[in-house]
Amino acid sequence: MAILQNETRRLATARYWVLSWLIGFAVHVSYGQAPNSCLDCHSALPEPLGVSQEKFSQDIHAQKGLTCASCHGGDPTSVDPDKAMSRKAGWKGKIERKQIPQLCGSCHSDAAYIRQFNPSLRTDQLAQYHTSVHGKRWATGDAKVAVCTDCHSVHDLKPPSDPRSTVNPVNVANTCARCHADANYMTGYSIPTDQFAKYSASVHHDALAVRGDMSAPTCPTCHGNHGAAPPGVDKVQNVCSTCHVFQAQMYEKSSHKDAFRAASLPGCVVCHSNHGIVHPTDAKLGTGPEAVCMQCHTPGDVCDQARAALLSDLGQLDEAIDNADRVLSVAESSGMEVSEARLAQNQARDSLTKARVTIHSFRKDLVEQDIQTGLTIASKNLQAGQRAMVERNYRRVGLGISLVAIGIMLVGLRLYIKKIES
Amino acid sequence: MSPVRNVRNWLDERFKWDDLVAPLRKKTVPRHRLSYWYFLGGITLFLFVIQVLTGILLLLYYRPGANEAFESVQYIMTQVQFGWLIRSIHSWSANLMIFTAFAHMFSVLFLKAYRKPRELTWVSGVILLFLVMGFGFSGYLLPWNTLAFFATKVGTEITGQVPVIGKPLMILLRGGEEVTGATLTRFFGFHVAVLPGLATLLILVHLLLVQRLGMSVPPKLEMEWGANPSAKREMKFFPNFALRELMAWYIALGVLGALAAIFPWNLGVKADPFAPAPAGIKPEWYFLFMFQTLKLIPPKVWFIDGEILGVLAFGLVGLLWVLLPFFESDDPSRGKRWITGLAIFALAYVTGMSVYGHLAK
């Protein structure tokens, strides 16, 4: 009975291959295309062996003229499955997972070969991979760590600039999260799995997903891509400084740099956290739930006093800008022309932003310079608004006097008409 | 002899002044319960004079040009002594003038004042209304702000829809294919030279006709007074009517001053030809009824493009409107009722469509 079942199954498989071959052959004959017997059959097969013509045609390799045989070997010109997939023709079959980095690297590490297709494409991906946590674990035989195809996909691989690519800035965090947010998959690795959840609530994600800023950071921006690894406690400010240049320059010269290093504290992350960075507010300098200074400093010490002074300065400028805005808004809604003062308000806001950046120097004198600049501008704008309001009142008084004069004229004219007509 | 009399004698010796003003002394104005409608024409004339005077003052500082127009108006509004008042009065007066011109036209229509022998007064008046709307269209662009820029773009595009002459007319108006600085200088030329010249000429003709033919009396009253001449009531044009008109002008001046002081005319944001058009861009209120109508016409009506059909229809209606008096009966007792019906419909249509256009998104 078992023999009969095996024979039936073998017969069905043979019929399937013959049918696939016939369809493929018919396609060749009718369209006269260069023969690719791999796709002719595999496009008719179910997953995981199936690769449709449509899917493969979107792959960057296919678009550059590479074929299935470029990776899998064999003879795609032969319509005979035995010949096409013969070891003699160099057929490799399914690529073993542990062989993938080397296989991809065989082309992508060859500068002369890659130059033919894209001269600006880097060729150090494999070398970088070997330095990554993924690559190091892969070298020790860990088959769960990511290899090229896990991030880039396979058979429909698109360049990172393509919005559909799994490694496009918009999608790459989701790609990383496929493993790193999967608590079951990450069992055995002593790292948290909440990075993606935190990142999704962060100011960086907001910049990318909501504001559409394609330069906003995603996972590889801080961790690297092929050489992905944690930045390291004492090097984290180097990562942040690639974008936050001024803050980093201030921090480098500040007293906190040495203090944090001595205490093995991770620079920027101490106050701002890492994956879940939210938009910083002045409350960080306060003593409430968002406060960060008092996590280390003692209430009443010299640093606490400096913190309070900085917070007060920032609040003073913020309030001055708000006051000027309020008066200018009233003047504007009264029809007064205050567009110049409105524009100058942006300079005051810039000063406040600059002061908030200068906070990273932890020097009161430097912060106060920016605060004073902003206060001067906001004060001028407030005066412009107040002058506009005085002018508005002057106009209304003038209008009142004019209307009284017109009223007297009307009464006079009416009386005169009455007189001459009586 | 008083100095006034001396001057009068001096003028009389040189210009025959007494002969010149003699008709004014004899001129009378009918007196009845609808006499106040006679003030509307005078108020429109007063507002036109205000426009000319404030326009001349604005010319002292205004600079036509894509790089200077907005800044020069901003300078007028913020730096020039009473510049804000002059510009606000100019803008408000323009709008009030268009409103009073429309009101004057409808009052003439409802009182049937366009009847023989005043057909030419009507024709010159309607053409003046078109010119006033032209003033509004050309003047709206001059501050070179965003709303004005895109409203002009839309407005000139509609002009381009007119068959055969549309495209050349649009290029003539724009000074090229697009609305640019060339359009601004061109509109400035229309606004301060071409239109004022034509309008002044037509106003003189209009006033001359009014003086020659006198004020019209509604047909019903005309028949009553014809049957019973003793019931006819009149007042002297000067000083009785002129003083009343002067009162109306003072009221108009008070309204203008109040509007300018309480609601100074907005300057807006400088036009950026490369910026996308703001959502829901609309023309000035006096073009809204036409704009909204064009929006409501389907893209294709039978085989004709909807917008072209709309533009042609408005052109035809405008022409027939000018010629309306020639469809009226000469006999006051046999006035054409359909013209009154048409006037009611036109007023309701213009008002309704304007409100609809204002509220529509």
Question: Which CATH number is B242's domain given?
Answer: 1.20.810.10
Chain-chain contact of A403 with B258 (C-beta, under 8 angstroms): yes
Name the minimum distance, in Å, from the CA of A343 to any CA of chain B. 12
Q: How far is CA A256 from CA A250, A263, A267, A361, A363, in A?
A: 10, 10, 8, 9, 11
pLDDT (0 to 100) of residue A235: 77
pLDDT tens column, A396-407: 999 999 999 999
Q: Which of A337, A387, A397, A414 would you mutate first to test chain B, the one with the most B CBs within 10 A?
A: A337
Residues on chain B touching A420 (C-beta within 8 angstroms): 239-240
Minimum CA–CA partner of A412 in chain B? B247
Name the minimum distance, in Å, from the CA of B118 to any CA of chain A. 30
Chain-chain contact of A396 with B261 (C-beta, under 8 angstroms): yes
Please check the confidence at residue A30 and state whether its pLDDT lies above 50: no
| Nearest CB to B78 within list A337, A409, A416 | A337
Residues on chain A touching B265 (C-beta within 8 angstroms): 335
Minimum CA–CA partner of B73 in chain A? A337
Chain-chain contact of B78 with A340 (C-beta, under 8 angstroms): yes
Q: Is the pTM of this model over 0.90?
A: no
Q: Is residue B51 part of a domain?
A: yes
Q: How many CB atoms lie within 10 A of CB B169?
A: 14
Please check the confidence at residue A5 and state whether its pLDDT lies above 60: no
Please check the confidence at residue A221 and state whether its pLDDT lies above 60: yes
Chain-chain contact of A410 with B247 (C-beta, under 8 angstroms): yes
Asked whether the beta carbons of A285 and A303 are under 8 A apart, the reply is: no
Please check the confidence at residue A20 and state whether its pLDDT lies above 60: no
For residues A98-120, b (16+ Cβ closer than 10 Å) or e, as one string? eebbebbbeebbeeeebeeeeee
Please check the confidence at residue A14 and state whether its pLDDT lies above 60: no
Number of domains in chain B: 1
Name the minimum distance, in Å, from the CA of B181 to any CA of chain A. 23
Chain-chain contact of B240 with A420 (C-beta, under 8 angstroms): yes
What is the mean pLDDT of the segment spanning B322-338? 88
- Cα A360 to Cα A271: distance, rounded to the nearest angstrom: 11
What is the mean pLDDT of the segment spanning B56-77? 95
pLDDT (0 to 100) of residue A6: 52
pLDDT (0 to 100) of residue A265: 87
Q: Which of A232, A209, A229, A233 is nearest to A219 (CA)?
A: A229
Q: Which of A394, A417, A419, A422 would you mutate first to test chain B, the one with the most B CBs within 10 A?
A: A417
Phi, psi of B343 (to 5 degrees): -65, -45
**Residue with tokens 């909501």, as numbered in its chain:** A210
| Nearest CB to B264 within list A335, A409, A420 | A335
Residues on chain A touching B77 (C-beta within 8 angstroms): 337
Residues on chain B touching A396 (C-beta within 8 angstroms): 261-262
| Nearest CB to B257 within list A399, A409, A410 | A399
Range from A17-26, A100-109, B218-227, B253-262 carrying the lowest mean pLDDT: A17-26
How is residue A294 annotated by DSSP?
Answer: G
CA dihedral B110, B113, B114, B118 (to 10 degrees): 180
pLDDT tens column, A48-103: 888 988 889 999 999 999 999 999 999 988 888 888 899 888 999 889 999 999 99
Chain B positions touching chain A (beta carbons under 8 Å): 74, 77-78, 84-85, 235, 239-240, 243-244, 246-247, 250-251, 253-254, 257-258, 261-267
Task: Return the domain boundaries, chain A.
Answer: 302-421
For residue B275, give the 3-state DSSP assignment: coil
Q: In this predicted model, which residue has the larger pLDDT, B188 or A239? A: B188
B120 class by beta-carbon count within 10 Å (0-12 exposed, 13-18 middle, 19+ buried):
middle
Class of domain A302-421: mainly alpha
Minimum CA–CA partner of A403 in chain B? B254
Give me the domain span that covers residue B73. Answer: 30-156+165-217+232-278
pLDDT (0 to 100) of residue A384: 96
Residues on chain A touching B78 (C-beta within 8 angstroms): 337, 340
- Cα A319 to Cα A71: distance, rounded to the nearest angstrom: 65
Please check the confidence at residue A32 and state whether its pLDDT lies above 50: no
A46 CA to centre of own chain: 36
Would you place residue A34 in the very low, low, confident or very high pLDDT band (cuts 50, 70, 90)?
A: low
pLDDT (0 to 100) of residue B130: 97
Would you place residue A26 in the very low, low, confident or very high pLDDT band (cuts 50, 70, 90)?
A: very low
Phi, psi of A317 (to 5 degrees): -70, -40
- Cα A144 to Cα A178: distance, rounded to the nearest angstrom: 12
Range from A120-129, A222-231, A306-315 carrying the lowest mean pLDDT: A222-231
- Residues 6+ away with beta carbon under 8 Å from B157: B170
Residues on chain A touching B39 (C-beta within 8 angstroms): none
Q: Is residue B357 part of a domain?
A: no
Please check the confidence at residue B268 and state whether its pLDDT lies above 80: yes
What is the mean pLDDT of the segment spanning B310-338? 90
Chain-chain contact of A413 with B246 (C-beta, under 8 angstroms): yes
Q: How many CB atoms lie within 10 A of CB B115?
A: 22
Please check the confidence at residue A303 and state whether its pLDDT lies above 80: yes
pLDDT (0 to 100) of residue A298: 87
Chain A positions touching chain B (beta carbons under 8 Å): 335-337, 339-340, 395-396, 398-399, 402-403, 406-407, 409-410, 413-414, 416-417, 420-421
Chain-chain contact of A417 with B77 (C-beta, under 8 angstroms): no
| Nearest CB to B240 within list A339, A399, A421 | A421
Residues on chain B touching A394 (C-beta within 8 angstroms): none
> How many CB pairs below 8 A link A and B?
52
- Cα A279 to Cα A129: distance, rounded to the nearest angstrom: 33
Q: Is residue B57 part of a domain?
A: yes
Would you place residue B161 in the very low, low, confident or very high pLDDT band (cuts 50, 70, 90)?
A: confident
Asked whether the beta carbons of A169 and A218 are under 8 A apart, the reply is: yes
Please check the confidence at residue A190 and state whether its pLDDT lies above 90: no
Q: Which of B258, B70, B273, B259 is nearest to B178 (CA)?
A: B273
Name the minimum distance, in Å, from the CA of B240 to any CA of chain A. 7
Would you place residue A348 in the very low, low, confident or very high pLDDT band (cuts 50, 70, 90)?
A: very high
How is residue B28 annotated by DSSP?
Answer: E
B333 class by beta-carbon count within 10 Å (0-12 exposed, 13-18 middle, 19+ buried):
exposed
**Which amino acid, one-letter code, is at B296?**
L
Question: Is the ipTM beyond the 0.95 threshold?
Answer: no
Please check the confidence at residue A15 and state whether its pLDDT lies above 70: no
Range from A12-21, A187-196, A318-327, B329-338 carrying the lowest mean pLDDT: A12-21
Please check the confidence at residue A22 and state whether its pLDDT lies above 60: no
Taking all residues of chain B, what is their mean pLDDT, rounded to a whole number? 93
Would you place residue A24 in the very low, low, confident or very high pLDDT band (cuts 50, 70, 90)?
A: very low
Taking all residues of chain A, what is their mean pLDDT, rounded to a whole number? 89
Would you place residue A138 in the very low, low, confident or very high pLDDT band (cuts 50, 70, 90)?
A: very high
Name the minimum distance, in Å, from the CA of A317 to any CA of chain B. 27
